Amino acid sequence: MAPRMDDVMRLCSDLSANRQIKVAVKSSAKGAVVAGGTAFLGGLVGGPPGIAVGGAVGGMLGCWLTSGQFRPLPEILNELPPPQKQKLYTDIMAVLGSLDWTDVAQLVALVMGNATLQQQVTAALLSYVTKELRGEVRYGD
């Protein structure tokens, strides 16, 4: 990863940690697998009525599993695959514009010292989380 991308990722992590942002990312694929798997097992055990019962039970179990647990946003950002990090970097750089910095400490200081810029970066970060990751955001504990 390029140093500037690392700096922006660190800025996002510091900003979200400072505001105690937590996110629950929903995983619909996991729910679909659980629902389909229990419908299949129900069909093997109970025939056509078993498919219905297995599908209903699996649907409820899948819904419960994918409701998402809230995790700190910095933790989620660290786990992003490179293409998603690149997308977030592009979104944040659109806000930062031609801001010039030499290292991550200077970047963090520049953004944290400017309330307007801080709000704009936070808004871009939260927009990314809700649109790209389909996450549910919560502040504090």
Task: Give this prediction's pTM.
Answer: 0.69
Q: What is the pLDDT of residues 2-45, one digit of tens each?
A: 668 999 999 999 999 998 988 887 655 566 677 788 878 888 88
Beta strands in the chain (DSSP E): 21-25, 71-72, 135-139
Quick one: how far is CA 93 from the chain centroid?
19
Question: Tokens 């995983």 correspond to what residue?
Answer: 27
> What are the angstrom distances between the C-alpha of 90 and each of 46, 53, 69, 141?
52, 47, 27, 30
Q: What is the mean pLDDT of the chain?
A: 85
Per-residue pLDDT for 1 more than 90?
A: no
Strand pairing class (71-72; 21-25):
antiparallel
Quick one: how far is CA 57 from the chain centroid?
28
CA nearest neighbour of 4 among 87, 76, 89, 78: 89
